[in-house]
Amino acid sequence: MATVPSPPPSPSPRPPPRTAFSPRCTALQNPSAYMYHCQLLNGAPQGYASPRHARARPPRERELDLAASYAREIGACVRERRWGAACEAFASMRTAGAAPDRFLLPQVLRACAGLGAPRLASAAHALAAKGGAALAGDPVVGNAIVAIAHADAGELEEAFDLFEEMQESGVRPDVISWNTLVSGFARSGDLVAALHLFDEMRQRGVDPGVNSWNCIISGCVQNALYDEALEFFLEMCESERPDAVTVASILPACAGLQALGIGKQLHSYVLRCGIKINVYVGASLIALYSECGEFDDARVVFSTIQEKNVNVWNELVQSYIREGSMDKAWEAFDLMQEDGLEPDIVTYNSFIAAYAKVGQNEQAYELFSRMADVGLKPNVVSMNALICGLHRHGLYTDALEAFRYMQRSSDGKSKGWAFLDNCDPIQPTGTTITGVLSLLADLKLDRLGKEVHCYALKNGLASNIYISSKLVDLYGKIGDMTSAANVFQKIGNKNVVTWNSLMAAYKHNRMPEVTLKLLGEMFQSNLHPNLVTVHIALMSCGVTMALGYGRELHSYITKCWPGGYPTTLASALINMYGKCGNIEDARLVFKSTVPKDIAVWNAMMSCYLLHRMPMDIIDLFNYLEQSGIQPDHITFILLLSACKQEGLFEEAQSYFYNMEDVYGIKPSLKHYTCMVDIMGSAGLLAESLTLIQKMPLKPDACLWSTVLKACKLHSNLEIGEKAAKALFELEPHNPSNYMVLSNIYADTGLLDASEAVRDAMTEQGLHVDRQCSWLYNGTTVHSFEAGNLSHPAIDAILSTWKHLTVRMEQSRYSTEDIGPYYNVEVDPLSCHHTEKIAVCYGLISTYDHQPIRISKNFRMCMECHSSIKFISRDMNREIIVSDGCTYHHFKDGTCSCRDAW
């Protein structure tokens, strides 16, 4: 961190907090009064005169006296922040015929902004334009219009246009106008425009000063751009001394980055410079310490603040909530009231979020009722917290209902939520839309997702980069990559999160080669990948067996994390090397990772499982027990799967029952599925049904699918029909279930029944997903999709296969079963399945000493398996195929899976 500057000569005090609105402020509550004000500001017709000032137009001297008296009244109202009274006084002034001067009009604009009345501000702006050069060309008025009438109202484009017109007409904007525009663009998230203005400001000879830097820093923090905020802060320290506003602005960035060390330096700077720890600085310090887990320090800061306001008490409440001390949080809630302060909406929202987060929804609902009892109405933050909590705990219907209810007035039909009966509709924000899109993405509800997308477009929220990123994620999860790519292309200022969303979407839709291509494009756009980016890329390397690309990523990780990379990346690297067929490099990463968490141990076990090395999994589990690290539910899934591979039924039972008795892990549905799989492989199909009936969980599609595949293995039609019936109810549109049942009928000689199942599939419009295989060569991932012969080397590929078929016939190669996913007659010696095409391309495009690495999205059929065994011996090539089910290492005519997968 840059050296913190020496104390300034005198710290600048903060302005006093705003007082409550005057009872005379009726413009927002009374529409007729609002229109009345607009008419008066533009020069009201006769008959609208104020009773106090209805008089004939006085001579010039009397007019000046009248204007001065109004100016004094308006000025007093503005100083006291009685915005409605100021607007009413100005309306009366216009009715009386008095005109504002260049000093009064900016105060009127300030009152309009404070009242939250942009139309009133526009009317005042029009009045300035009618006033000729004395008003329209005056820099004081022009700066006020830019700063107050437009920028503060969020009309940044209008403010910028007027700002440019002022400069073209010779009016020089002051530092306040520059700062207002910089702050407005920064707050809106358009950091590029804010920085451009900031640089132009300095080029025009306007000294930015501390306030300008504060605008940039505050805008970054408000948009969660914490790294950027800290960079600007360090740059500022080279030329300016931070003031109290700077410290209060940058501390939330330190909290967001968990940069406790920098936060403590800032705290020391405040004490050393004699900057008063007021409610703003104090609240930020409390938030920093509590978010970084230093709860005692947070309470020490709280005790040093002499005049506490509600914000400071809210931070103390949040501190206890973050610590998990709800009793102490409620105690602080009571002490706040004893201190003479009433809890506000923020206080209640803190408790609502805390209860919703842990699934205690009844307590959250009760808080809504308590708010209504004290005259508080839920706001959008309240509803966002509720929706997030409901979503997190699987209450999807209630979460969607809460979102719908936000937008409609009470009709007494709110799912019994009496606490919302008297609430007005609440306008969703970007945070709301982001949360709802996340919920819809998890549920893959494409129609509702598109409706929310339309809502975002209509309400100007689609430009929000977080909403856009979540839309890409939604469309990716429902398989609509065209829409996902379109949304991505329309995003103006793409960030790392946006790129991650699109990369993850392509990986999810079995297009990992596109994911790796996008990573290169991301580098070209001068964006640096973060941990999530690298994780997605490593998984894509594993799917495509792109070992060379994965090694490049490993080098990149080592450079970015020279002191040791996170265990999440260590796990991803182990998985990548394992899926690329390099078990030795996976072991090296595992051994070099210190300390190891359970995810790292599980990753290594998963590699052994993929390579069909079950005894290595059991040995590694024994080492895990000696290390003192507690195994988790995933560890036991891997252990049970290892027992299945090795046929260790009794050992599997021992692990299964020891899970809860010894390790305190209650078996989940996945563990029961593993046991059913083990029993099914051993032919104990009746016993597996008994286990299903006795288990305390409702069987899902995965479990019944496991039973159905076991019935295919043992040609058990009776139990197979039971499993298929359950599957058709749970997954009516999954074609693989129909195909397996069809094959069971065929295996038992019931060919008519087999055809009937396939005909039913066709009638329902169900089709098996296309097979796809990938081969990584050089810097390119080559994809081969079933039925697609568009590869540039397709002629050479088919010629190579023709040569191989001749060799097979000469060697009296015997064909085997094609597999369960095709209902057409296929010549087993044809280049039909995509892994065969990939192998042929590997033979003609790689060196003889290089292994051919292929991955595919379907389980290999027996015919392809035996064909590649032949090719590995006949061509003396090492061929590695990962089919998602297991890892096949072909060499000298044998396979590492021992022909069992």
State how far the Cα of 616 lies from the Cα of 636, in Å rounded to an integer: 14
- 41-45, 207-211, 318-322, 541-545: which has the minimum mean pLDDT? 41-45
Q: How far is CA 40 from CA 81, 105, 120, 869, in A?
A: 21, 15, 10, 91
DSSP-derived pairing of the beta strands 780-785 and 879-882 = unpaired
pLDDT above 70 for 140? no
Residue 347 lies in a domain: no
Please tell me whether residues 780 and 864 are part of one structural domain: yes
Instruction: Please name the amino acid found at residue 501.
Output: S
Instruction: Please name the amino acid found at residue 264.
Output: K
Q: Which helix (H) or strand (E) holds 816?
A: none
**Buried b or exposed e, range 782-800, using 16+ CB within 10 angstroms:** bbbbbeeeebeebeebeeb
Domain range spanning residue 713? 668-768
Helix (H, G, I), strand (E, B) or coil at 82: coil
Please tell me whether residues 793 and 859 are part of one structural domain: yes
Number of Cβ within 10 Å of residue 559's Cβ equals: 7
Query: Greater confidence, 122 or 250?
Result: 250
State how far the Cα of 643 lies from the Cα of 682, in Å rounded to an integer: 12
Q: How many CA atoms lie within 13 A of 619 on its CB side?
A: 5
Q: Residue 710 burial by CB count (10 A; 0-12/13-18/19+): exposed, middle or buried?
A: buried
- The whole-angstrom distance between residue 305's C-alpha and the CA centroid of its chain comes to 37
Domain boundary among 768, 793, 822: 768
Residue 231 lies in a domain: no
Residues in contact with 512: Cβ distance below 8 Å, sequence separation at least 6, in sequence order: 506, 539, 540, 541, 543, 544, 774, 781
Looking at residue 622, what is its pLDDT? 93
Please tell me whether residues 690 and 778 are part of one structural domain: no
Looking at residue 35, what is its pLDDT? 45
pLDDT above 50 for 36? no
- 356-370, 520-534, 698-712: which has the minimum mean pLDDT? 356-370
Q: How many CA atoms lie within 13 A of 190 on its CB side?
A: 17
| pTM check: above 0.75 | no
Q: Which helix (H) or strand (E) holds 339?
A: none
Helix (H, G, I), strand (E, B) or coil at 437: helix
Percent of the chain at pLDDT > 70 equals 78
pLDDT above 90 for 235? no
What token pair was written down for 685? 């199909």
- 53-62, 218-227, 341-350, 782-791: which has the minimum mean pLDDT? 53-62
Residue 866 lies in a domain: yes
State how far the Cα of 216 lies from the Cα of 597, in Å rounded to an integer: 40
Radius of gyration over every alpha carbon of the chain, rounded to an integer in angstroms: 35
Helix (H, G, I), strand (E, B) or coil at 882: strand
Check which CATH number belongs to the domain holding 725 and give it: 1.25.40
What token pair was written down for 262? 């920098």
What token pair was written down for 306? 């002499």
Please tell me whether residues 784 and 724 are part of one structural domain: no
What token pair was written down for 669? 């549905």
Residue 878 lies in a domain: yes
pLDDT above 80 for 223? no
Residue 392 lies in a domain: no
Percent of the chain at pLDDT > 90 equals 32
Q: Which helix (H) or strand (E) holds 56?
A: none
Looking at residue 860, what is its pLDDT? 83
pLDDT above 80 for 514? yes
> Mind listing the pLDDT tens digit for each residue in 767-819?
777 788 988 776 678 888 888 888 899 999 999 999 998 888 888 776 654 44
> Mind listing the pLDDT tens digit for each residue in 736-771?
888 889 889 988 889 889 899 888 888 888 777 778
Looking at residue 617, what is its pLDDT? 95
Sorting pLDDT into bands at 50, 70 and 90, what band is 3?
A: very low
Q: Which helix (H) or strand (E) holds 854?
A: strand 852-856
Please tell me whether residues 853 and 777 are part of one structural domain: yes
- 186-200, 249-263, 362-376, 499-513: which has the minimum mean pLDDT? 186-200
> Mind listing the pLDDT tens digit for each residue in 151-169?
444 445 555 555 555 555 5
Sorting pLDDT into bands at 50, 70 and 90, what band is 533?
A: very high
Q: Residue 705 burial by CB count (10 A; 0-12/13-18/19+): exposed, middle or buried?
A: buried
Please tell me whether residues 839 and 752 are part of one structural domain: no
Residue 732 lies in a domain: yes
Cβ atoms of 713 and 690 closer than 8 Å: no
Q: How many CA atoms lie within 13 A of 385 on its CB side?
A: 26
Closest CA to 831 of 786, 884, 777, 767: 786
Sorting pLDDT into bands at 50, 70 and 90, what band is 209?
A: confident
Total tally of structural domains belonging to the chain: 2
State how far the Cα of 655 lies from the Cα of 633, in Å rounded to an integer: 11
Find where tokens 């051993």 sit: 682
pLDDT above 60 for 119? no
Looking at residue 70, what is its pLDDT? 72
Determine the average pLDDT of the residues in 867-876: 91
> Mind listing the pLDDT tens digit for each residue in 262-299?
999 999 999 988 888 888 899 999 999 998 989 999 99
DSSP sequence for 473-527: HHHHHTT-HHHHHHHHHH-SS--HHHHHHHHHHHHHTT-HHHHHHHHHHHHHTT-
Q: Give bridge partners of residue 853 from the DSSP assignment.
A: 880
Find where tokens 């050393």 sit: 272
pLDDT above 50 for 83? yes
Please tell me whether residues 741 and 839 are part of one structural domain: no
DSSP sequence for 748-797: TT-HHHHHHHHHHHHHTT--PPPPEEEEEETTEEEEEETT----TTHHHH
pLDDT above 60 for 57? no
Please tell me whether residues 763 and 710 are part of one structural domain: yes
- 31-35, 70-74, 710-714, 759-763: which has the minimum mean pLDDT? 31-35
- How many residues belong to the chain? 901
> Mind listing the pLDDT tens digit for each residue in 390-414?
888 878 888 888 887 776 644 444 4
State how far the Cα of 657 lies from the Cα of 259, in Å rounded to an integer: 45
Query: Greater confidence, 100 or 496?
Result: 496
Please tell me whether residues 703 and 788 are part of one structural domain: no
What token pair was written down for 477? 């999860």
Mean pLDDT of the chain: 80
Please tell me whether residues 752 and 723 are part of one structural domain: yes
Sorting pLDDT into bands at 50, 70 and 90, what band is 86?
A: confident
Please tell me whether residues 747 and 788 are part of one structural domain: no
Domain boundary among 735, 753, 768: 768
Please tell me whether residues 717 and 789 are part of one structural domain: no
Residue 844 lies in a domain: yes
Looking at residue 161, what is its pLDDT? 55
> Mind listing the pLDDT tens digit for each residue in 562-600?
878 889 999 999 999 998 889 999 999 999 998 899 999
| Cα angle for residues 593, 600, 548 (degrees, 5° grid) | 75
Residue 390 lies in a domain: no
Determine the average pLDDT of the residues in 32-50: 42
Cβ atoms of 600 and 571 closer than 8 Å: yes
